[in-house]
Structure 1
Amino acid sequence: MTIRIAALLLVSCAGGLVAAEPPPSVLEAESARIANVEAISPSVVCIFGRDGGGGGSGVLISRDGFALTNFHVTSGSGDFMKCGLNDGKLYDAVIVGIDPTGDVALIKLLGRDDFPAATLGDSDSLIVGEWVYVVGNPFLLAADFTPTVTYGIVSGLHRYQYPAGTFLEYTDCIQFDTSLNPGNSGGPLFNERGEVVGINGRGSFEKRGRVNVGAGYAISINQIKHFLDHLRSGRVVDHGSIGATVLTRQDGTVAIGSILETSDAYRRGLRSGDEIVTFAGRPIRSANQFQNVLGVYPSGWMLPLTYRRGAETHDIMVRLSNAHRESELLEFSKTPPDRENPQPGRKPESDEDPKEEQPTPPDEEAAATKEDDVPSELKQLLVQKPGFANYRFNEIEQARVLESLPNGGTLPSLAAGAVLSGRTEDGKPFRMTLADRGVGFDLGGVGYLQPLGPAEEFIDEPPGTGGLLAAAHLLRQILAGSRERLAAFYYLGSEPIDGIGPQVDVLIAEDQGGRLRLYVVREGGELLGFDFSRGDNVDDCRVRFGKPVISGIPAEWRVSYGGEEILDARVERIEPLRPSRDSR
């Protein structure tokens, strides 16, 4: 009976088949996809070495040409690259900053100030099953730089990919079933609103033929946001560590295994055997989850950690140390990942298992930049210095922040020395003398001194402050325009002060073994405070400023050490230092 009805329907079509019109909702969804692809494609970048070797993808994130890609793409393409956009034009580009651990790099395209830039989204808002687009240059197919687009869904969130014989570590990453192939490396993962929610990196490929088997991974854009200003600094950036190992116990709780006594977490009270309850505001239910959360933050950031010992729960703030030794990180940053070496991930059990690996890194030899082939105007945009991928961009960021400071970071009131006087919260008079030979401090009739000179070391004066006087000396060098006297001065990037609130700019001053982190509001140049350390394994002297401002110097100084506030002083007067008889 069913066959007879079908036959009658065919006859009624007057000798031909008539296709049913798709539902309006299907046509609307198709139109929306087409419009989205048209909107996002102009910001997608095809990346090559200057001689045409190598290849990968990227995405423009600013009108002045900054673009994100993978570290393993730029490491094979050299410091200078060629980049194509879907308008068919080719642009010169230069390396800016690199994150070898997170497999992220920032480059800058040149020649325009009106590049089509993508919008950065919120990767934490993704849900499994949401539609996403992978856009890039797989297999280097597009000779006219028109990107290839594939479409799929988010398959999983907060994935952790194990490092294996390399620094590359994918934490808290996004898994998707969208086709990801060699050459997509560094390209964007877009959501349906046309926002970048990730940077594509890893894919699962069959061992023979490098055919995608349906599992791709992207670095979350929220992780990259934490590092973005660090990358703009031109540095080789590192991820953070709490200086401890963690393990999942049989009862399902997560505990500290071993912990370094020199770590900030240890000084805050964390011990072996303590249960981790939350970290960075997220509940911790496994050791892998802890690594996931930890891996998305740069070294130096302060993050909240809640731990349980017995029946008591403790809340602490922990400053992250470097995950790697500086020498190791710099050595790895100079060596492009070898395509034949195992990539991050679990080792396959047999040759027939899918191999977890990144899309093929560009050929190092073919993409190597010859110095003679680089135009002189491009060479001026690269300044090589230990610890930096490109120090030129640190100079640019230094200038931007200093220009925002009072009087452009050169206060005449401090240049020749100054005396700051006022009273503490409990009414004690104080007098701080900033001079080239030393920093003196009189508090309620008791005197303290930090001698200055080539043979002098920074000391804890007044005792129990962590070196307030040494910190005041470094602050003076920054604000008086005497930065050339310091052993090192550079722009670090941005971070939330005290682990809360918006990210603020951070300037670093180093001298005589001490290190000062100066916090500056990005818009307006307001000085928020500083953290000073006399060494790697001691607590910081922390000063937070308050208004008003006198001659460019904040009037309120709240000083804490070891988590305890020890001094609240208000500057009432700033006077020039009178020359002593010995200096005449």
Structure 2
Amino acid sequence: MIWKRTRLKKSSISSQTGKTRGVLSQTSVPLVVLFLSLAGPTIVGQLHAETDGNAGREDSTETGQGVHVSGQEVISVGEAIPEAVLARERERIEIIRRVSPCVVAIFSLSGQAGGSGVLISPEGYALTNFHVAAPCGIALKCGLPDGNLYDAITVGWDPVGDVALIKLLGREDFPFAVLGDSDQVRVGDEVFVMGNPFMLATDLQPTVTHGIISGVHRYQHPADTILEYTDCLQTDASINPGNSGGPMFDNAGRLIGINGRASFDRRGRINVGVGFAIAINQIKRFLGHLLAGRIVDHASLGFRVGSNTQGTPVVTSILETSDAYRRGLRLDDEIVRFADRPILEPNDLKNVLGTFPPGWRVPLVFRRGNVESEIMVRLLPLHSEAELLEKTERISANLALPPEHPPSENPADLSHPKDVFELPPSLRPYYEPRRGFANFYFNRLRQDHILRDWAVKQKLQNARGPWVFAGRLSSGGPFQLEIGDDRCILRLGTSEVVWNATRPTSSEELAPPEPQGMFLAIYLWRQLAVGGGSAFPDLYCWGQQPYLGRGPMVDVLAAGFGVSECRWFFHEGLLLGLELEYDRHQDPWEVRFESFETVGEVTVPRQISVRIGELPIADFQVETFVAGTSR
């Protein structure tokens, strides 16, 4: 898994080692001291200039006041550089030294070309660009400044946002970057860009460029809805081919972005001082999906926004099947804020929306007349699953790997054919193909982790017999709810409702006001607890999201059951709730669990509430819980 090396050949990955040697030209230019327009310490010693001859040499003299060339004073050397300046220089050097070990040089298996990345966990997870990882395929080689090459495997892809997650193998103690807060970045902030432009880092030491944040909340148009840069950071620090996927650090060494796009001189792919990085706060929202091995989409809202005659952003069209419409948004409503960000023009909304995955609930404030209202909007996917996969395959097939060298004045075609290799035997245990996933192996890891934590915390897997909850409804009447292997029974006073789990259920039957959807959701809760992942052949980890929009970040498992799909929401080993979607154009059934208490060996909720959208259906106040004998 680990390949020891300190030097790379130009066209292949070799196990040979060597040292980097600096090469000096035969002619040395005059050693004039630069950057001393600020006062500095007294320079002691003599400045020398050596050439291979005197042709073209101008006379130079030194005085107590400075260095002169042909009688003209160019630099003052008599005053001290302020200690604050020297301290900041030492601090900058120390920051670069500290963060360099986590910068990754990424190579295709052929070793002919690649890009950059950055480690974000001691287990070896690293971020890069989709346009870097996809041409390399599932297997990659990654070099670190420690001089070693590591085998790496694809984990997850975000083709819309141009982000990929990979995992380096062979260690569990990798150096890693600390994630910053890109929402706090301001124009003028100092930044460092690191990576492997033009594969210059033959010794695996990253190239460092230094600059400032030139702009925030920038937007770069996609290629047919793929590789879209929304709310990104702009910098004048040099970003060249090969820098893609590498880190952008702030002046404290925190990771604030992943380098991606740049503007180049028309004569060749040379940076002209306009580069873009994907903001780390956007990536954080997708990280749970990427860790689950998914090919993840971005969000849409189900309505469009334009400007009215006053330039105010207003709704110009809206789908009646959208969640925004069900929450009360209508034509001509003014959009005031979205995701707690002010919306001053239509492009502001598009820019912020592009930083979210579908399925999240996000606050939206709109104004109608003089009245402002806030709603929580459930975001829709930008693509259908089939459309996203088709575009991902097409774009990834056309992506070119970065060039090995800076291009000439008249560069030839810089593209390389996509490297195609069989997966090396050592990496095969870490890859599982499945439609809709970059690598389902990592999805299984997430499933196992979530279910294991749940089993340890609540121990419901031990309650294999029928579950019987009893207590009172919030309205005051008594209830008894029994959940078994093949049916649910709800007793309200002297009345009894029986739901048979073996009978096929259509979407129409699951719709309110009939209680079938509630029974199915509660039944699937027990099925997952008792049967685990084996109870649902198509179970998968969906990713992460804030619970109910503003709650804690929860892990989400999902599985289909007949015409419906169920999603379970976990936080720190507790199941906080679940949703049953029976029609993607309608509000799902929601079951929420609160006030947990341990009864015997198991931990159960003391409150179970059921609702659809904003409509409460039932609120069970649990007083007793009994798990019967398994039949």
TM-score normalised by L of structure 2? 0.82
Match of 2:277 among 209, 218, 228: 218
Higher RCO by CA contacts (8 Å cutoff, separation 6 or greater): 1
1:139 deviation in Å? 0.5
Match of 2:622 in 1: 571
Deviates more, 1:532-541 or 1:172-181: 532-541
Note if 1:84 corresponds to 2:134: no
Match of 1:120 in 2: 179
Find the aligned partners of 2:66 and 2:258 in 1 and give their Cα distance: 54
1:487 deviation in Å? 5.2
Note if 1:507 corresponds to 2:560: no
Match of 1:369 in 2: 421
1:482 deviation in Å? 4.6
Q: CA RMSD in A?
A: 2.5
- The one-character-per-residue Cα deviations of 1:525-580 (angstroms, maximum 9, x if unpaired) are 1221222221211112222211233433312112222213332212233334578x
Describe the shift of the 1:449–1:249 C-alpha distance in structure 2 as closer, same or farther (beyond 3 A): farther
Describe the shift of the 1:410–1:340 C-alpha distance in structure 2 as closer, same or farther (beyond 3 A): closer
Note if 1:259 corresponds to 2:318: yes
Aligned to 1:186, the other structure's residue is in SS state coil
Q: Report matched runs for 1:489-504 at 5 Å.
A: 489-504=539-554
Aligned partners of 1:98 and 1:389 also within 8 Å:
yes
- The one-character-per-residue Cα deviations of 1:185-244 (angstroms, maximum 9, x if unpaired) are 000000010000000001011232111111100000000111111110111111111111
Match of 2:580 among 526, 532, 537: 532
Match of 1:174 in 2: 233
Deviates more, 1:511-520 or 1:35-44: 511-520
Note if 1:45 corresponds to 2:97: no
Q: Report matched runs for 1:381-530 at 5 Å.
A: 381-407=430-456, 411-412=460-461, 414-453=463-502, 455-457=504-506, 459-460=509-510, 463=513, 467-486=517-536, 488-521=538-571, 523=572, 525-530=573-578
Letter of the 1:475 partner, please give it. Answer: W
Match of 2:612 in 1: 561
Aligned to 2:92, the other structure's residue is in SS state helix
Describe the shift of the 1:575–1:151 C-alpha distance in structure 2 as closer, same or farther (beyond 3 A): same
Match of 1:380 among 425, 429, 434: 429
Aligned to 1:317, the other structure's residue is in SS state strand
Find the aligned partners of 1:163 and 1:414 in 2 and give their Cα distance: 51
Aligned partners of 1:402 and 1:409 also within 8 Å:
no
Deviates more, 1:322-331 or 1:545-554: 545-554
- The one-character-per-residue Cα deviations of 1:51-90 (angstroms, maximum 9, x if unpaired) are 2133000000001100000011110111010000011110
TM-score normalised by L of structure 1? 0.88
- The one-character-per-residue Cα deviations of 1:145-184 (angstroms, maximum 9, x if unpaired) are 1100000000000011122434121110000111110000
Letter of the 2:384 partner, please give it. Answer: R
Aligned to 1:81, the other structure's residue is in SS state strand
Q: Report matched runs for 1:158-173 at 5 Å.
A: 158-173=217-232
Aligned partners of 1:465 and 1:566 also within 8 Å:
no
Larger radius of gyration: 2
Find the aligned partners of 1:58 and 1:279 in 2 and give their Cα distance: 31
Find the aligned partners of 1:299 and 1:309 in 2 and give their Cα distance: 26
Aligned partners of 1:187 and 1:199 also within 8 Å:
yes
Match of 2:16 in 1: none
Find the aligned partners of 1:165 and 1:529 in 2 and give their Cα distance: 37
Find the aligned partners of 1:174 and 1:414 in 2 and give their Cα distance: 52
1:22 deviation in Å? 3.0
Aligned partners of 1:466 and 1:561 also within 8 Å:
no
Match of 1:206 in 2: 265
Match of 1:543 among 591, 594, 605: 591
Letter of the 1:509 partner, please give it. Answer: A
Match of 1:344 in 2: none
Match of 2:21 in 1: none
Letter of the 1:89 partner, please give it. Answer: N
Note if 1:135 corresponds to 2:194: yes
1:340 deviation in Å? 8.1
Letter of the 1:533 partner, please give it. Answer: E
Describe the shift of the 1:526–1:15 C-alpha distance in structure 2 as closer, same or farther (beyond 3 A): closer
Letter of the 2:204 partner, please give it. Answer: F
Note if 1:333 corresponds to 2:333: no
Structure 2 portions without partners, runs of 5+? 1-60, 69-74, 401-412
Note if 1:34 corresponds to 2:86: no
Find the aligned partners of 2:628 and 2:549 in 1 and give their Cα distance: 37
Match of 1:192 among 240, 251, 275: 251
Aligned partners of 1:432 and 1:440 also within 8 Å:
yes
Aligned partners of 1:466 and 1:539 also within 8 Å:
no
Q: Report matched runs for 1:263-342 at 5 Å.
A: 263-337=322-396
Find the aligned partners of 2:147 and 2:275 in 1 and give their Cα distance: 28
- The one-character-per-residue Cα deviations of 1:459-517 (angstroms, maximum 9, x if unpaired) are 34873668211101111111112533335211122111111133121121321122222
Match of 1:19 in 2: 77
Q: Report matched runs for 1:142-153 at 5 Å.
A: 142-153=201-212
Letter of the 2:533 partner, please give it. Answer: R
Letter of the 1:19 partner, please give it. Answer: V
Aligned partners of 1:254 and 1:276 also within 8 Å:
yes
Describe the shift of the 1:115–1:292 C-alpha distance in structure 2 as closer, same or farther (beyond 3 A): same
- The one-character-per-residue Cα deviations of 1:252-304 (angstroms, maximum 9, x if unpaired) are 21111211111111111112221111111111111111011111111110011
Match of 1:349 in 2: none
Describe the shift of the 1:251–1:142 C-alpha distance in structure 2 as closer, same or farther (beyond 3 A): same
Find the aligned partners of 1:15 and 1:565 in 2 and give their Cα distance: 83
Letter of the 1:318 partner, please give it. Answer: V
Aligned partners of 1:487 and 1:512 also within 8 Å:
no
Deviates more, 1:473-482 or 1:179-188: 473-482
Describe the shift of the 1:10–1:396 C-alpha distance in structure 2 as closer, same or farther (beyond 3 A): closer
1:28 deviation in Å? 1.9
Aligned partners of 2:558 and 2:568 also within 8 Å:
yes
Find the aligned partners of 1:362 and 1:470 in 2 and give their Cα distance: 54
Describe the shift of the 1:13–1:296 C-alpha distance in structure 2 as closer, same or farther (beyond 3 A): closer
Letter of the 2:556 partner, please give it. Answer: V
Find the aligned partners of 1:451 and 1:391 in 2 and give their Cα distance: 34
Deviates more, 1:387-396 or 1:558-567: 558-567
Match of 1:345 in 2: none
Describe the shift of the 1:241–1:443 C-alpha distance in structure 2 as closer, same or farther (beyond 3 A): farther
Aligned to 1:114, the other structure's residue is in SS state coil
Aligned partners of 1:76 and 1:363 also within 8 Å:
no
Aligned partners of 2:191 and 2:212 also within 8 Å:
yes
